[in-house]
Amino acid sequence: MLKIQTIYCNVIYLKKEMEKIQEELHKHAHANTRAHCLYGFYALGKKKSELATLFHKDKKTIGNWVKHYEITGNLNPSLRNTTHTKVTQNQRDWIIQLFKKKPVLFQREAARLFFVEFSQSISLSSIGRILREANMTRQVLERRAIQVSLIDIVRFTKELAEIPWMVHNLVFLDEISIDNTDMWRTRGYGVKGDRLYFRGEFSRKVRTSLLCFCDVEGMTNCYVTEGTFTREIFVNCLRSFILEKQNGVNVYPGRRSIFIMDGAKIHTDENITLYLRSLGLYVLFLPAYSPYFNPIEILFGIMKQHLKSSYVENTKQDPKVILGKVIKQLSKKNLSDIFRKCGYGENGIFNPGVGVSQDLDWYGFKRVA
């Protein structure tokens, strides 16, 4: 009796296993399975009957895979060239362009706009399918406040055009604050999917602020202070830069006679402007939120890269010593390409379109369209 029960249980188990196998066989094959099968057919010259045995599929199924691939060029049946019988190619292009211009649009809003434009309804599933075929997915939106004024750019372009200049006339200045945390490396190599841990520094050292000047020949000079620059310290450093002979500042139209800076409050004091003009120098202020017109911003990015390469964590290195070495390297760096990248041509013509066309990720901006 016990033997009969054991046999009966084994039969039930085998029946369930066969049902699972049959269920798996009736499922659609994964795209990877199709890819391996087609590779065997085209590259290895395997027959359809051999592939059917190898992949546990019917010979007709293998034939359908080959036929589908030759017609559509796709491995997955869900990605076949959809006919969209009610949606024309022109309408699909319109939907794609709509979401490129307005990436935050909801699909139901797009459906309403589609009806207004074409007097024809469209389902949300059709919109989703069109977007997927265009390789567009719904992503997390990163908001950035970018308040660039076109009028301000025109103002700066006009002011610069009113002064005959060449690139050797221009001097750019700005402040930057650095401590050891800015020298830490933030990326490394590890196993994909695993967190990467690094035993580094956790103590913050004294923050150092620099007032830097640069022209087309490189970093001209830097003035250092601990903490941040006050207006008094800024004015004293600016006066020193102008009056010290080794800095090569000359009365306009001489070399380094046009000072360009951003519109920070510490820079725009009326007395500072009057002082510079009394010395025969021109002063221009960049448009707000437009670092891509300022070559020294790119130079600061290069400086931080050099600092990360030179600084070794958990050592007694003085960050100021490393900073001095990096500044010395940058003082010999020709910035002609960077000036052109920001729109300042060697022929004395400023083209704002060149500066705006830069990769804004470098300056912390992120394009959403």
Residue 67 CB: number of other CB atoms within 10 A? 10
Does pLDDT of 25 surpass 70?
Answer: no
40 compared with 278, residue with greater pLDDT: 278
Query: Is residue 69 a contact partner of residue 62, using CB atoms and an 8 Å limit?
Result: no
Q: What are the C-alpha distances in Å from 213 to residues 67, 240, 247, 293?
A: 67, 12, 10, 15
Residue range 217-232: mean pLDDT, rounded:
90
Looking at residue 60, its pLDDT comes to: 86
The residue written with tokens 């400023």 in the block is 350
Compute the distance between CA of residue 52 and CA of residue 65 in angstroms, rounded to an integer: 11
Looking at residue 323, its pLDDT comes to: 84
Read off the tokens for 188: 């490394």
pLDDT digits (tens, 9 = 90+) for 131-176: 998 888 888 765 555 566 788 999 999 999 999 999 999 999 999 9
| Selection from 138, 139, 146 nearest residue 364 by Cα | 146
pLDDT digits (tens, 9 = 90+) for 234-252: 999 999 999 999 999 999 9
Query: Is residue 183 a contact partner of residue 319, using CB atoms and an 8 Å limit?
Result: yes
Compute the distance between CA of residue 137 and CA of residue 283 in angstroms, rounded to an integer: 47
pLDDT digits (tens, 9 = 90+) for 69-95: 877 777 666 554 444 457 898 999 999
Looking at residue 285, its pLDDT comes to: 96
Residue range 309-331: mean pLDDT, rounded:
81
